[in-house]
A and B are shown apart, each in its own frame.
Chain A
Amino acid sequence: MTWDAASLLLGLTQTALALAIAPLLLGVAKRVKARLGYRTGAPLLQPYRDLAKWWRKTPVESEASSAVTAWAPAAVVAAIVTATLLVPLVGERPLLGGSGDFLVVVGLLAGARFLMALLALDAGSAFGGMGSSREVAIAALVEPALLLALAVAAVAVGSTDLAVIAGAGVARGLAWLTPSLLLGAAAFALAAVAETGHEPFDNPDTHLELTMVHEGMLLEASGPRLAMLAYAAQLRLVVVASLFAAAFFPFGMTVALTPLSVAVALAAAVAKLLAAAVALALLDAGLAKLRILALPGLLGFASTLAVIGLAARLWLPA
């Protein structure tokens, strides 16, 4: 794959945007939630300050912990940053495009989860085990739903490559949104809420041991390690939202490299990410957490939607 200066610059811009905007999305989501709860809420840039604060602190670790506690956070960040480099956002060609499709992206998210789940067990605390065992159990139902939903888009173009999928979506315009693709989009949206840890699957604000999933895994992390894991969670939202946008709603993405189209594409990308953050905040504010034993029903529903989407493509005339 060859790069010219313009598309390389676009790739770099897109990566910089994704990496920089991640904490802002959390700030926006928290502000929306606060306003819906009749509170003023923290400043929009608070997540950046939190990260900087944690980064400066001395890490405290458990006497029971191993090298996993020391090194897994950096590996988690690395996995999710790498995933960011594989997903189209502003333009259809991400920096690492060609070296991985959506299976690799989902795989990298799973790899990060593998390390996080181990990290949570490392200190020997019951809370960590609780968060870890819940996380892997829910993920076992989320991942198939995500992959089946993305398979709807893949079967539509005959490729799992995200650039090919997004390019086809942009080229076909609204004709891209066939009924089967919309079913896939619905399935993905449902699974994405679980993947990013929001209501009704998980409450990102709680430290109450009875309800927490993702936060339970972070309890023993501190200092720069906490900063890394918190940033990784913020970036995971960016990856999942751009995955959704690339596969099901690529409109606005630039194909030509004219200044105007790039500007439009940048604006569209930011708008899509902010919309995702606001939507998740609305869910958090409006929904109660579902009983953990009721989650398979909802996630099974997501997988079923994706299967119906696939069946619609296979059995009905296109």
Chain B
Amino acid sequence: MDLTAAAACLPPAIAALLALALVAAVLPAGTRARSVSYGAAAAASAVMVALSLAVLAGAAPVAFSWGAVLGFSLIDVRIDSLGAVFVLMLGLVGTVASVYAIGYAPHPDASGAHDAPVRWADPVLAAYPVFLGSMFLVFGAADLVAFLIAWEAMAVASAALVVGGRPTPGQARAGYLYLVLTHLATGALVVAFAVAAAAGGTALDGLPAVARSMSGPTRDLLFVLLAVGFATKAGAVPLHVWLPRAHPVAPSPVSALMSGVMVKAGIYGLVRFVLVGLGPGPEWWGMVVLAIGTVSAVLGVLYALMEHDLKRLLAYSTIENVGIVLIGVGTAMLAQAAGLPSLATLALAAALLHALNHAAIKGLLFMAAGSIAQAAGTRDLNRLGGLWRGMPVTALAFGVGAAAMAGVPLLGGFAGEWLTFQALLGVAASGGVSAEVRSVLLLAAGGLALAAALALATFVKATGTGFLALPRSQPAALAREPARAMVWATAALAGVCVAMGLAAAPIAGVLAGAAGPLLGVLGGAEPAGLVLGGPGGAGYGPLAVAVVLGVVFAVVGLAGRRGRSVRRVPTWTCGISPEPSFEYTATGYAKLLRLYFGPVLRPQREVEVELHPGTPFPRAVRYRGGARHLIDERLYVPLHRAAVAAAQLARRIQNGSLQLYLAYTVIALVVLLLVARP
């Protein structure tokens, strides 16, 4: 049986396994049924990995359709090489997160946890396999209608998982905001798809031909609608406000999937419908995407730096990385518009590489954060610390993920940023684009460098204050590794992250091979060697660098330890015994950067000193501080006020009086009769 025939058997297997997961989830709750459900979900995800690898290895696109209604198929899947890249992300994170979820069951002594594992047992968990399946259908949809159905199912299932069965007020608010914004996005997509369908059918394959036949303004309108719809799902600034609220309150395996994979559905949409579907457009399209990406990267990481809630920090970091991916997509659009197909392929490969790496890394970090929240009962970095003692495996796994997100070479995050930088400089240095475009490209390069440097500060802060030194609270001191499935899943994903970083060059080669044909580069795929290549002979060979670094590390490290005992003594703190309150807190650690970026972050501080009565001596000092979120305050608060004011106005003519409504009807009838007179 050849590869294509073997791959064709896989979609039914995925469907069957997800159906099994669904059935097991709705059975009367029992630990066994839940384990079967997540086990089946993990198996389905593993099959997705096999399917995507088969397609990327050269099998023909896999097609599968089921459930014909009114001339449309409810499920109409066709996984080509682009879809396969995203299915790979989904399968990878899905497998690990599902295994993790087996352990992430209700925990008798975790009732105080902010991470709310108790609610995880609710019947709403049936939404989990639906969530996985709908994401698969989004990446595989071969038809606009099938895409919209899957897209909506993905939104509703994820919202159900965010809100949970018995939501706290915070969860309910986050879920509501998420639903509102995601439907705004879906609304934009529905209009865009309707325009496209009216111009020539609903098949995804036919889109480029349809787009070519459209007039300029129609294409511009389509671009704007698609950009709004997909940028919202991707969490790009300024449409990001739902993301840092919804991702942290979801159960951690779901957070991992939402941040790792679901936001990539927005990226997938932009690539599939704008870059490939609409094809080369005017320069301003690419510049808009590039600008959104740059702003998202810098603002996302700045807000991540200000957070001391670990999961919110990770959510803001997702906005940063989506920004970096969008920089790649925008560069690809500009290169495509300028007729530079090989640079466009390079830029798209950079975007896909960073998206893939980010999926694994962010999945890993969210899972580690979930373990911490369950073990220590809090996600507040200012109350954690010293976790490496009780949770060494989770600490190491988190450290790997943090280093990767901080852009440390050899790991995956750096490879994606490296390739994105190459694409930016390559297009900027080529003669094919205007000076305006080159300026925007170079500013994006500066923004990318700034974001990478700030990410380093963010993840040193998260790792250092969360895992090192002395624990800052009793629960942190008592925290131990959680259930084995959680620890193993996290550790395995950390291993995958390291391997993906070292194998970045061959992976990028495969991704370029997947991206090339989409942009009209046939057979020009990069050979999948051991060195990542950029324009002008620039190269980055992670393996060679790793070998040299490893040898030097081993020699120096072992020589420095040989035959030596180490004396362990308390930290010198000027003669008094060390206390955790001497350590820098997460908030304190970020203070200098909070002041440096004051014009953007608008830091606030409030110090309250309570004195011993009748004396000048303080009894208690309370500090409250933080950054203000300008986009929330300047854009969404006024929007909200305007909406409420508009509703107040509408209330004057909408006051519920039946007589008034009858009068409206009569007036409308008279007007109609007058206007529509033949």
Contact = CB atoms under 8 A, between A and B. Distances in A.
A64 B545 contact: no
Interface in B525-582: 531, 534-541, 544-545, 548-550, 552-553, 556-557, 559-561, 564-573, 578, 580, 582
Interface of B: 385-386, 388-389, 395, 403, 406-410, 414, 418, 421-422, 425-426, 428-430, 435, 438-439, 442-443, 445-446, 449-450, 452-454, 456-457, 459-461, 463-465, 467-470, 531, 534-541, 544-545, 548-550, 552-553, 556-557, 559-561, 564-573, 578, 580, 582-584, 588-593, 595-596
Contacts of B460: 114, 117-118, 121, 132, 136
A62 B584 contact: no
Given A99-B531, A136-B456, A144 B449 contact: yes
A122 B534 CA distance: 38
B483 to A, nearest CB: 24
Given A107-B407, A160-B534, A60 B584 contact: no
A158 B407 CA distance: 24
B327 to A, nearest CB: 14
A143 B449 contact: yes
A154 B537 CA distance: 12
B560 A228 contact: yes
A117 B568 contact: no
Given A60-B567, A136-B456, A160-B422, A96 B545 contact: yes
Interface stretch (A39-47, A196-204, A218-226): A218-226
Interface of A: 55, 58-68, 70-71, 73-75, 77-79, 81-82, 85, 96, 98-101, 103-104, 107-108, 110-111, 113-114, 117-118, 121-126, 128-130, 132-134, 136-137, 139-144, 147-148, 151, 154-155, 157-161, 164, 220, 223-225, 227-228, 292-293, 295-296, 303, 307, 310-311, 314-315
Contacts of B446: 144, 147-148, 303, 307
Contact of B566 (A58, A77, A124, A136): A58
Contact of B570 (A63, A118, A121): A63
30 contacts: A61-B568, A61-B569, A62-B569, A63-B569, A70-B566, A74-B556, A74-B560, A77-B553, A78-B549, A78-B550, A78-B553, A79-B549, A99-B545, A114-B408, A114-B460, A118-B468, A124-B571, A124-B578, A124-B583, A126-B583, A133-B584, A144-B446, A144-B450, A148-B446, A160-B536, A224-B564, A228-B556, A293-B595, A311-B439, A315-B439
A159 B453 CA distance: 22
A129 B582 CA distance: 9
B537 A137 contact: no
Contacts of B531: 98-99
Contact of A129 (B573, B583, B595): B583
A77 B580 CA distance: 30
Given A77-B553, A118-B460, 13 more contacts: A64-B386, A99-B544, A103-B421, A104-B409, A114-B460, A124-B468, A124-B469, A133-B589, A137-B592, A159-B537, A160-B421, A224-B560, A307-B442
A133 B540 CA distance: 30
Contacts of A59: 564, 566-567
B470 A223 contact: no
Nearest to B410: A111
Nearest to A131: B584
B564 A124 contact: no
Given A124-B469, A136-B460, A140-B456, A104 B571 contact: no
Which 9 residue pairs are nearest across A and B when measured between Cβ atoms?
A: A159-B536, A129-B584, A124-B469, A74-B557, A121-B464, A224-B560, A78-B553, A99-B541, A136-B457
Contacts of B568: 60-63, 65
B135 to A, nearest CB: 32
Contacts of B541: 98-100
B468 A122 contact: yes
A10 to B, nearest CB: 18
Contact of B596 (A126, A128, A296): A296
Contact of B582 (A125, A225, A296): A125
B469 A123 contact: yes
A161 B538 contact: yes
A235 to B, nearest CB: 11
Contacts of B573: 125-126
A90 B422 CA distance: 26
A71 B557 contact: yes
B536 A158 contact: yes
A132 B589 contact: yes
A116 to B, nearest CB: 9
A293 B592 CA distance: 8
B534 to A, nearest CB: 6
Contacts of A141: 453, 596
A70 B556 CA distance: 12
A139 B456 contact: yes
A101 B567 contact: no
B469 A314 contact: no
Nearest to A122: B468
Contacts of B395: 66
A110 B408 contact: yes
B453 A155 contact: no
B392 to A, nearest CB: 9
A67 B457 CA distance: 21
A133 B592 CA distance: 7
Contacts of A104: 409, 418, 540, 545
